[in-house]
Amino acid sequence: MADLNSLPSIPYGAYNGSGSTGGDSLTEDLKIFYKSGDIAWMMTSTALVLLMIPGVGFFYSGLARRKSALSLIWLSIMATAVTSFQWFFWGFSLTFSHAAGRFIGNLDNIGFRNVLAQPSVGSPLIPDLLFAVYQGMFAAITVALAVGAACERGRMLPCVIFMFIWTTVVYDPIACWTWNPSGWVYELGGLDFAGGTPVHISSGSAALAYSFLLGKRTGYGTQALNYRPHNVTHIVIGTVFLWVGWFGFNAGSALSANMRAVMAVVVTNLAACVGGVTWCLVDYRLERKWSTVGFCSGVIAGLVAITPGSGYVPPWAAVVYGACAGIGCNLATQIKYWVHADDGLDIFAVHGIGGLIGNLLTGLFAADYIAHLDGYTVIKGGWLNRHWIQLAVQLCDSVAGMTYSFAVTLLILGTMSVIGWYIPAFVLRITPAEEKQGTDDIEMGEFAYDYVELIRNVKPLEPAHDVSQIFEDEDIDAESQWSNSRAEMARNLELQGGRGGAYSMHTLSRSLEVGEVYSHSGAIGTAA
C-alpha cells in the first residue's frame, strides 16, 4: 500500500493581500490560497444550477399548450445567454464589487476587470472568478423564471430586451443589498441563504407585473382556456432537472465543501418531498385524483420555500417548510383571479408566495448552531434562538424586494410599450390572430412536435377528416392550422392529380368517432 505521506501535496496558505487580482500568476502560486475540494464543489454547483435553467423551460413548456411549447424552452435558454453576457459586462460588478454601496455596486469590475484570484465578497474560501461564474447562474435562472409570464402571447424580441434591462435595474440591486456585505439588508441582519428575495420573490413579482402589462390571453375566462397541460412528461422532466440542480443551488451557497453544505442538501430534499405530498393531498381533497402535475408543483414550492433557510435551519424544520409551501402556494394560485392577472404558469403563486413563506419561516426557525456548521458564520438566529426581531427583519426584506421588483418591472414594460408606438420592435404582445396560430409558428417558425408542421402542409379531402378535428387546442381554427401552406397544398394536389387524389405525405388525424385513428391513405387501427 502506498505511503500517503510520500505523495506530493500543496500547502494551504492564508491570502496575503497581493493586489486586486489576488497576485501575479507568473511569479506567485495563486492556488495555495484555496482548497481544491472547495473549488471542485463550487464548479460542480455551478453546473448544477445551469442544469436548472432548461428544467424551468421544460416545466413551463409542459404546462402550456403545444402551439407555444417550444417558445417557452427557447426563452429559458436565451435567458442564460443574455444574462450571462450582462453579468460579464457589468452585472457582477454592480452586484458584488468590493467597494459597493448599500443599494448597488460600482463598475470597478466591468467586463470582469481584475476578477481573478482575490477572495470573493461572498466568502474568503473561494476566489472572485469562481464566485462570479457561480452567481451568474443565479442571475440567469431568475430571469428565466420571470419571463415565463410571456407565455402564449408575448413577443420574443422585446422579451429579450427586457431580460437585459431587468437584470440590470432589478436583480442586481436586490442581490447587492441582500448578499453583498455592504448591502442594507445584509447590514440589517437579513437571513437569505440562497435567494428567497433576490431569486424567487423578485422573479414572481416581475412575472405578475409582466402578466398585467401583457393583458389576458384571448379567451380568458372562457372554455377556450380551460385546457389541461399539454405534456405532463415535460413537467416531470423539468421537475427532475430542477430538483437535482437545487442541490447545487442551495448547498452550493455554503460556498465551500463543509457540513453546512451537507445540511443544506438534507433540508432541501426533505422540503421538496413534503411539499409534493402536501400539494397532492390538497388537490385530492378537492378532486379525488392523484395529480402528477400537482405533485411536481408541490415539489417546486417546497424547494422555493426552503431556499432562504437551507443554511440556517435543522432537518425537522424542513418538514414545516414543505407543508406550509404545499398548502400556501396551492391556495395562492387563486390570487391571479382576485387581481385579474393572467399568470398562466402560476409563477407568482409558486415563487413569489413560496419565497415569502420561506423568508418568514427562516425568521422563526433559523438556528445559530446550524449556521456555524461552516466554522465561521455567526448569527443571532430567529425565534428558535429567542431573537424575536428577526421575523420583522425578514418581513421587511420580503416586502421591499417584492415592491421594488413589481414597481420597476411595470415601469420598464410600460416604457417599452410607449416606445412600441413608434418602434415596432418594442411591441410586447402578438395580435389576437397570431395568438390563435401560436407563438411557436409566428415568432419562431419551428415546432416542438413534427406532426404539427406536417398537418399544416396537408389538406384532407374527406369532410370527415377536417383539420379542425386534429388539434386539441379548441381555439385554433382550421384557417390558422394550415395557414400559409395553401399554395403548397395546391401544388401537391396538382402534381398528384393522376393518382386519385393521393397525398404527398402521410399524417394521422382523429375522426369524430371517439378512439378511432386513421391514416389519410386508409384506416390503420382503433385506439384502445
Please check whether residue 164 is in contact with residue 88, taking contact to mean a CB–CB distance below 8 angstroms: no
pLDDT at 447: 86
Which is higher by pLDDT, 30 or 86? 86
CA 276/CA 322 separation, integer angstroms: 8
User: What is the pLDDT averaged over residues 109-117?
Assistant: 94
Q: Is the pLDDT of residue 9 over 50?
A: no
* pLDDT at residue 3, as a whole number: 56
Average pLDDT over residues 469-486: 42
pLDDT at 460 over 70: no
Report the relative pairing of strands 508-510 and 516-519 from DSSP bridges: antiparallel
**Mean pLDDT computed over 182-187:** 96
Which tens digit of pLDDT belongs to each residue from 392-403? 999 999 999 999
- Pick the closest to residue 343 from 169, 74, 152 (CA basis): 152
**Cα–Cα distance, 20 to 128 (Å, whole number):** 10
Task: Dump the DSSP string for 25-44.
Answer: TTTS-GGGGS-HHHHHHHHH
Grid cell 383539420 in the structure block, residue: 467
Q: What is the pLDDT of residue 5?
A: 53
Provide the pLDDT confidence category of residue 454 given band limits of 50, 70 and 90.
Answer: low
Distance CA 220, CA 342 (A): 8
pLDDT at 24: 77
Q: What is the pLDDT of residues 227-242, one digit of tens each?
A: 788 999 999 999 999 9
Q: What's the rounded mean pLDDT across residues 52-57? A: 97
Summarize pLDDT for 299-354 with one digit per residue, the tens.
Answer: 999 999 999 999 999 999 999 999 999 999 999 999 999 999 999 899 999 999 99
Out of 221-225, 321-325, 466-470, the most confident range is: 321-325
Looking at the predicted structure, is the pLDDT value of residue 506 above 50? no
Dist CA 329 CA 351 (whole Å): 8
Counting Cα atoms < 13 Å in the Cβ hemisphere of 79 gives: 32
Report d(CA 49, CA 41) in Å as an integer: 12
Q: What is the pLDDT of residue 235?
A: 97
Q: Average pLDDT over the chain, rounded to whole?
A: 85
Residue 120 has pLDDT above 60, yes or no: yes
- CA dihedral (441, 442, 445, 448) in degrees, to 10, reads -30
Sheet hosting strand 508-510, strand order edge to edge = 508-510, 516-519, 522-526
Q: C-alpha cell of 429? A: 404582445
The Cα–Cα gap between 95 and 180 comes to 7
Q: How confident is the model at residue 101 (pLDDT cuts 50, 70, 90)?
A: very high
How close are the terminal C-alpha atoms of the chain, in Å? 64
- Which residues make Cβ contacts (< 8 Å) with residue 425, sequence separation at least 6? 157, 158, 161
Percent of the chain with pLDDT over 70: 81
